Amino acid sequence: MTRFKDQVAIVTGSAQGIGKAVALQLGSEGALVISVDQNAEGANTTAEECGNSSIGIQCDIGDPQQVSSLHETVVTQYGGVDVLVNNAAIVPFIAWDDVDFDHWRQIMRVNLDGTFLMCRASSDVMRKKEYGRIVNIISNTIFAGTPNMAAYVSAKGGVFGLTRALATELGAYKITVNGVTPGLTNTEGVQSTPHKDAFEFVEMLQPIKGHNQPSDIAPAVVFLASPEAHRITGQVLNVDAGMVRW
Ligand code: NAD
Ligand code: 4PL
């Protein structure tokens, strides 16, 4: 398929995990991928694997200046952005008793503020072309209220609200804004925390058994990012093997 031929797609947090799987599928369907991550080496590796002259750019999405210079580079070199996938986030495992204001701010800075900064800058570029697809990676924890991640769940709830609000604000420019809520997924991030021990529990709640892999999440994201999804906006697609229904 070449649904993204001649399109430029920014994918944040694409050095590994779900972001990398999304970047690779967009690349395989013809997109020039701007692979954005704090991890420069990982971002570059993903870009090489994407083909189509894709590039890696190191950027902390929580830093307004870095987000601004990222967009200057993209506009200067490519003239625009067709797709933005907001995937970069911190995925913490922290008992409620240990959640202090420093932790809360650290999570909000990246997971909510970072998503805002990327939406702000990319949508200003998309508006000029009157075309755009924004897909926010949320989490099914906003429905389940999953333990040991209160700040994370709160930030993702904010991204959920932003998705609906931006769909309203940007509709006039033919920019759609949607979200995907993955369930627990087998990524490098999850494997490095006690979340990895929750697979058995969540599988009990899933009608479809087995562990979600990054490549299971990517097709839903890529569909919402595609030209054919032009009548879908302000929506959230849950991809968690049926763990929660809403
Ligand atoms: P991961 O931890 O494996 O990878 C996250 C990537 O984001 C890393 O490459 C990291 O360097 C990058 N990143 C983190 N902070 C950044 C910043 N400030 N600026 C730029 N890059 C930054 O994560 P994952 O498990 O693949 O999750 C990806 C997305 O999916 C996240 O939004 C997460 O909340 C969401 N999600 C994950 C799961 C899961 O179980 N893995 C479930 C639901 C939702
Ligand atoms: C069900 O988004 O959706 C653990 C860790 N369990 O990050 C998540 C579930 C985690 C999730 C998530």
* Res. 1 pLDDT band, cuts 50 70 90: confident
Distance 29 CA to ligand 1 centre (A): 23
Measured at the CA of 29, the angle between CA 20 and CA 118, to 5 degrees, comes to 50
- Its domain, for residue 201, covers 8-239
Ligand 1 atom closest to the Cα of residue 15 is 9
Tell me the pLDDT tens digit for each residue of 158-199.
999 999 999 999 999 999 999 999 999 999 999 999 999 999
Q: What Å distances lie between residue 228 and 49, 50, 221, 240, CA to CA?
A: 25, 22, 13, 23
Confidence of residue 63 (pLDDT cuts 50, 70, 90): very high
Residue 12 in any domain: the answer is yes
93: nearest Cα among 159, 188, 189? 189
Can 78 be counted among the known catalytic residues? no
Nearest CA to ligand 1 atom 15: 89
Q: How confident is the model at residue 226 (pLDDT cuts 50, 70, 90)?
A: very high
pLDDT in tens, 94-118: 999 999 999 999 999 999 999 999 9
Q: Indicate which CATH number applies to the domain containing 217.
A: 3.40.50.720
Beta-bridge partner residues of 132 = 175
Q: How far is CA 113 from CA 36, 85, 105, 119, in A?
A: 16, 15, 10, 10
**Nearest-5° angle of CA 110, CA 113, CA 114?**
55
Distance, CA 87 to ligand 1 centroid (Å)? Answer: 6
Is 125 exposed, middle or buried, given 0-12, 13-18 or 19+ CB atoms closer than 10 A? Answer: buried
Per-residue pLDDT at 199: 98
User: What proportion of the chain, given as a percentage, has pLDDT over 90?
Assistant: 100
How far, in Å, CA of 169 to CA of 151, rounded?
A: 26
Q: What is the pLDDT of residue 74?
A: 98
What percentage of the chain reaches a pLDDT higher than 70? 100
**Per-residue model confidence (pLDDT) at position 156:** 99
Q: Does residue 244 sit within a domain? A: no
In-domain check, residue 17:
yes
pTM of this prediction?
0.99
CA of 75 to the centre of ligand 1 (A): 25
**Residue 128: predicted pLDDT:** 98
Calculate the CA dihedral of residues 19, 223, 31, 80 and round it to 10 degrees: -90
Give the count of domains, the chain: 1
In short, whether 183's Cβ falls inside 6 Å of ligand 2 is yes
In a domain, 1, yes or no: no
Evaluate: CB of 180 within 6 angstroms of ligand 1. no
- Whether 140 maps to a domain, the answer reads yes
